Amino acid sequence: MSKFDASRRRVLKTGAIAGAGVALPTIFTASSAAAFTNEPTGGTVTLGFNVPQTGPYADEGADELRAYELAVEHLNGGGDGGMMNTFSSKALQGNGILGKKVEYVTGDTQTKSDAARASAKSMIEKDGAVMITGGSSSGVAIAVQGLCQEAGVIFMAGLTHSNDTTGKDKKANGFRHFFNGYMSGAALAPVLKNLYGTDRTAYHLTADYTWGWTQEESIAAATEALGWQTVNKVRTPLAATDFSSYIAPVLNSGADVLVLNHYGGNMVNSLTNAVQFGLRDKVVNGKNFEIVVPLYSRLMAKGAGENVKGIHGSTNWHWTLQDEGSKAFVKSFGTKYGFPPSQAAHTCYVQTLLYADAVERAGSFNPCAVAEALEGFEFDGMGNGPTLYRAEDHQCFKDVLVVRGKENPTSEFDLLEVVEVTPRAQVEYAPDHPMFAGGNLGACNPGA
Amino acid sequence: MFGLDKKDTSKLIIVACLALLAPFILNPFPTDSALAQFNAGYPDLMQRFVIFGIFAIGFNILFGLTGYLSFGHAAFLGVGSYSAVWMFKLIGMNVIPAIVLSVIVAGLFALLIGFVSLRRSGIYFSILTLAFAQMSFNLAYSVLTPITNGETGLQLTLEDPRILGVSATADGSIPVTNLFGLEMRSTFEMAVGPWAFQFNAGYYLCALIMLAAFYLSIRIFRSPFGMMLRAVKSNQQRMNYTGLNTRPYTLAAFVISGMYAGLAGGLMASMDPLAGAERMQWTASGEVVLMTILGGAGTLIGPVLGAGFIKYFENIFSKINDNVLHTWFSFLPDGMEDAVVFIIHPFIGKGWHLTLGILFMLVVIFLPGGLVEGGQRIKGWLSRRKAKDGGKAAGETNPAE
Amino acid sequence: MDAILLQILNGLDKGSAYALIALGLTLIFGTLGVVNFAHGALFMIGAFCAVTLQRILNLSFELVDETQTDFLGNPLKVKTPYVEAWFGPDIGGSIIDWAVPLAILFAIPIMIGVGYVMERGLIKHFYKRPHADQILVTFGLAIVLQEVVKYFYGANPIQTPAPDALNGVVNLGAAIGMDIVYPVWRVVYFFFAVLIIGGIFSFLQFTTFGMVVRAGMADRETVGLLGINIDRRFTIMFGIAAAVAGLAGVMYTPINSPNYHMGMDFLVLSFVVVVVGGMGSLPGAVLAGFLLGVLESFASMNEVKSLLPGIDQIIIYVVAIIILLTRPRGLMGRKGVMEE
């Protein structure tokens, strides 16, 4: 299987007069004959999977890559077809995309905007990728989304939870399936109200960068609407590894709920530290002290081990869901790799299928046609119930899961249990909601 | 030529040829062949080669000549990028004002940090520069977000004023960086048989600026000022005893190399209008130290080679995956193919750090003078062989500069 | 008042990790004159000794339980650790529970061995080379070591809990009528660090071996001329320094779950500590470690942060700059060391 016959070059080759060489003037990387950047003209189409392979999110990136490989296999008609069988749209035939065999290139984002853009650029300029997808942090997603807008290819975001991705930094060529900070708040609030009542005092520890801030804002707004008070919002440095000096003051602050707006390694450490300091055994204001982790990741929760038990948070998807789509996906992923997929793997797999389906329905790889097919697209059977890709901001609206660290896990994967599936209606918001205001999709850019 | 002696002129010409013919040299494999994976001749990577070349050349003016090891040079690159992006946001998309401003701002920043840090020497100096750079990084990531846009990095938006340009083009997208109308991203493709070569406007701008920067660094190396800096390296105390205050000289070198870093930052932003805080992190500062030492500190060409070496691994090796390996070794019998892929697997893709680390160690252990020494050894070996063939005594290797 | 005492305590506890790493770094630098960028990696290897022992103790055999199913619907394989099978669930369970303290015994020989191999195999050849080369080669080694660990253990943090008995909190202020609740394991860590630091100092102060090493640190040539094989002793000191870093790592695992890049996270910080303390000064390294730990804790107090936003991000560096500008060679540095 060769992945180097990027079809763009084939065009050039056939158009070229052998020997001395004839120069074709082109703008960016599209040939003058093509209608848009990297138009696939041969028998194959190349997708770019840009995931963190080094750095703290490398394991999450590896899981994303597994999902992509699975998706490519299914698109090309291999394996058991996975979610293609449960997907409400039946445009995909299992013969690639528009009859072209799907090939892919991989790259390393290093979870740094610069490196992620360099990697994405090489996929576009060198390998002729027509779509870029992946990533495990919002900074990277926003940076790569901006690049894809300029270059004229579609960006299907991987794991990115910041409101900004489809808020003030939204782009016409970028699409997000993953949920966001606002949705976490809206989904968690009713559950927290039932569990802990309306008379609570919350203390926020927040990772000091944009994602942390948008989540803190979302959760504080949602809980304050319940009648909770927010006693303090403390920003912690991203590079912090020991959170004890931030946890210690919580003990005497009068707060009875601690909200940890941390992700990844930060979350593991801050949660571990909070439990070490005995916060969970404390009684404040006559109530049991509680900890909330608004964005859960099962892969990361494993690093915190016992400490996650009984702690609530939200997640985009979990492998124990019993709908047909989730079961089909878990089955094909589990059969191939021997363990269940993570939420990052799920969102990446779904994004790839959604892209392929949109191309099939549009009948073209042109980013503008694909974007039009995705905008306002209603679908089902992908694990989150009936879902809408909203045209105004390219955000997916679907059910959100509220989960809890499981008390008696039966296996090393069985760390979380789904407490409630918050229906889509409850997490919807207006496109011009203040937390998402300030951005502009702009016009779709086909490159060329 | 240009006031250089014969040896330096030939060096300049070699570098000029390499830079101008890079699209050919870096694309040795036909695009359809399995080895095309190793082609590096696409605009983004070529731009990175020369931009990091400029960065390393500048760093070498400080470290190679004075011996002062700065561990915070990435801060100047970062500051340069931020200034350039702000110019694109406020003034317009022409790259000249952006690059000029980034050099000036980085120079001022270097003056400030250099003035304080150069009060100490040796490792104390290194830690002072490290401390300033890490402070800049941490603040840029968090508290200074209104200026730097924090984690996400400073980007252009459709709402930017751009008083000398347009906020948005007619078709509703963000305008692109240009040099008096010549778009930096415009690329001229040439197909020769199975090969495809890309000539990118932005790359050639960077390459020309790199040549100017390289020329300037030769002049600095050969000037009385350069001699003075070398004297500082060999024995600063003696210099001080002769009644000479060395600080203005070292400070000048520090500011010049800071401006080189700012220039690199400005160019980076001009090629790709985004400035992220990670550019200032200590790992980025460490990277330029590695480039310089790996290539050969104190030599003229070394830093450029080192920059190319590291960027090549970062961008090419990280993109090789198992699938690619299977393509390469598909001629082997099945069992053997799997075995070969299994053995190589840890070193490619997500393992590119490992390969780079091992190569670092090998170069440092066996080539104390860096890649330049490797080149000299090969040259020496070749000339010895030639000499032997001619029945003469073995020639001496050229001394390092 | 309680809050301030709590932060002092917290600072000492953080500082003890800094001090231990800086102590090892200074031992290597003071004896061998080598700037060891792989020291953070030694700390990380120590931590993974604990992870490895935990894994070894948890080695299990599998029994198929037909009554339960796994996530694919196949019969569940129930795992039982061999240790529990051999010693019974009670004793076996508590052996697994005490994996981290047991790992100290496991880590000492491994770390000394790693240190010995590193010194003989690599660092030895770099004594005469410039510091820049030493930095580069040890940095390369650090990358290689962490990538190897990543290859085998993955990139995610791995939980290694303290024994249940040491997992709770203790009220340290009870005796003086105050409420200072603190995790037991962190208190253990602090006393452990004090013990190791005390041990190293008395070893250097009160044994003949230590005396020779100190003499060698002061004037290597003269000691060599006296017919003493100082190189051999320095190699042993390298092993000891590696063991100190490794033990700091082993004991750190219950505080924060170890991951492969924890060494790099500590690397810059430990160099700042060593330099602030003064290159080559053991007491300086320890003092600077505790000092920076305490100041870092104070800077993260809300009262301080509201006065100076973002101060906790940069406090370490601000302190380093102030100290280096007022005291040219750090707190206790000697003249002429690493000043070229």
Residue that is last in its domain, among A288, A315, A342 = A315
What is the rounded CA–CA span in Å between residue A145 and residue A441? 11
In a domain, A413, yes or no: no
The whole-number pLDDT of residue A448 equals: 67
Q: Name the residue with higher pLDDT: B197 or A239.
A: B197
Asked whether residue A372 carries a pLDDT value surpassing 80, the answer given is: yes
Domain co-membership, A80 together with A172: yes
Q: Per the domain annotation, does A154 fall within a domain? A: yes
A345, part of any domain: yes
Residue pair B260/B53 in contact by the 8 Å Cβ criterion: no
The nearest CA of chain B is from the CA of C308 a distance in Å of: 11
**What is the least distance, in Å, from the CA of A50 to any CA of chain B?**
9
On the question of pLDDT at B400 being above 70, the answer is no
- Which range is most confident: A63-77, B341-355, B376-390? A63-77
Contact of B366 with chain C, judged by CB distance below 8 Å, is answered with no
The ipTM value here is: 0.88
pLDDT band at A190 (very low <50, low <70, confident <90, very high): very high
Domain identity same for A20 and A126: yes
Rounded to an integer, the average pLDDT of A357-379 is: 94
Instruction: Show the low-confidence residues of chain C (pLDDT under 70).
Output: 1, 336-340
Q: Enter the pTM of the model.
A: 0.90
Do C2 and A411 lie within an 8 Å CB cutoff? no
Where is average pLDDT lowest: A304-308, A398-402, B390-394, C154-158?
B390-394
What does the pLDDT look like over A244-296, one tens digit per residue? 989 988 888 889 999 999 998 889 999 999 998 888 888 888 899 999 999 98
- How many CA atoms, within 13 angstroms, populate the side-chain half-sphere of residue A87? 25
To the nearest 10 degrees (0 to 180), the angle between helices B43-66 and B247-271 is 180
| Position A376 in a domain | yes
Phi, psi (deg, nearest 5) at residue B158 = -75, -15
Residues A296 and A358 occupy one common structural domain: no
Contact C11 A245 (CB under 8 A): yes
User: What's the pLDDT at C336?
Assistant: 66
Q: Does A320 lie at the interface with C, CB-CB under 8 angstroms?
A: yes
Q: B173, A149 in Cβ contact below 8 A? A: yes
* Residue to substitute from A51, A70, A122, interface B, most B β-carbons within 10 A: A122
Note whether B15 and B301 are within 8 A (CB).
yes
Q: What is the CATH number of the domain that holds A249?
A: 3.40.50.2300
Q: CA C179 → CA B118, C7, C182, distances in Å?
A: 48, 13, 10
Of A54-58, A134-138, A398-402, C325-329, highest mean pLDDT: A398-402
The whole-number pLDDT of residue A16 equals 37
The whole-angstrom separation of Cα C210 and Cα C205 is 6
Q: Report yes or no on A435 lying in a domain.
A: no
Mean pLDDT (whole number) for B268-278? 91
- Residues A96, A198 within the same domain: no
> DSSP character for B120?
S
Residue A423 lies in a domain: no
Please tell me the predicted confidence (pLDDT) of residue A11: 39
A184 touches chain B (CB under 8 A): no
Q: Is A285 on the interface with B (CB under 8 A)?
A: no
Domain presence at residue A426: no
Do A118 and A154 belong to one domain? yes
pLDDT digits (tens, 9 = 90+) for B100-136: 999 999 999 999 999 999 998 888 899 999 999 999 9
Are residue A293 and residue A382 in the same domain, yes or no?
no
Same-domain check for residues A297 and A201:
yes
Of residues A86 and C66, more confidently modeled: A86
Do the Cβ atoms of C270 and C18 come closer than 8 Å? yes
B337–A contact, CB cutoff 8 A: no
With cut-offs at 50, 70 and 90, classify the pLDDT of residue B392: very low
* Overall average pLDDT of the A386-415 stretch: 91
Q: Residues of chain A with pLDDT > 90: what percent?
A: 67
Say whether C141 and B128 touch across the interface (CB within 8 A).
Answer: no
Same domain, A109 and A130: yes
The pLDDT confidence band at residue B389, using thresholds 50, 70 and 90, is low
pLDDT recorded at residue A12? 41
Identify the pLDDT of residue A428. Answer: 93
If one counts the domains in chain A, the total is 2
Contacts of C252 in chain A (CB under 8 A): none
Domain endpoint, select from A315, A336, A352: A315
Judge if A170 and A262 occupy the same domain. Answer: no
pLDDT mean over B224-243? 86
C268, C305, C307, C319, best to mutate vs chain B, most B CBs in 10 Å: C268
Asked if residue B394 has pLDDT above 50, the reply is no
Q: Does A251 touch chain C (CB under 8 A)?
A: yes
pLDDT band at A34 (very low <50, low <70, confident <90, very high): low
Judgement on whether residues A169 and A78 belong to the same structural domain of the protein: yes
A304 with A222, same domain: the answer is yes
- Give the residue from A315, A345, A370 where a domain finishes: A315
Helix (H) or strand (E) holding B165: none
Range of the domain at A305: 182-315
Q: How much is the pLDDT for C290? A: 95
pLDDT recorded at residue A206: 93
Residue A434 lies inside a defined structural domain of this protein? no
Where helices occur in B235-351 by DSSP H, the ranges are 236-241, 247-271, 282-295, 302-316, 322-328, 334-344
Q: What is the pLDDT of residue C5?
A: 87
The chain A residue lying nearest C182, using CA atoms, is A277
Domain shared by A309 and A379, yes or no: no
What pLDDT is stored for residue C340 in this prediction?
62
Distance (Å) from the C-alpha of residue C292 to the closest C-alpha of chain A? 13
| Any C CB within 8 A of B124 CB | yes
Tell me the HSE value of B123 on the side-chain side, using a 13 A CA sphere: 27
Beta strand pairing call for A131-134 and A44-51:
parallel
Q: Cβ–Cβ of B365/C329 closer than 8 Å?
A: no
The reported pLDDT for the residue numbered C76 is: 76
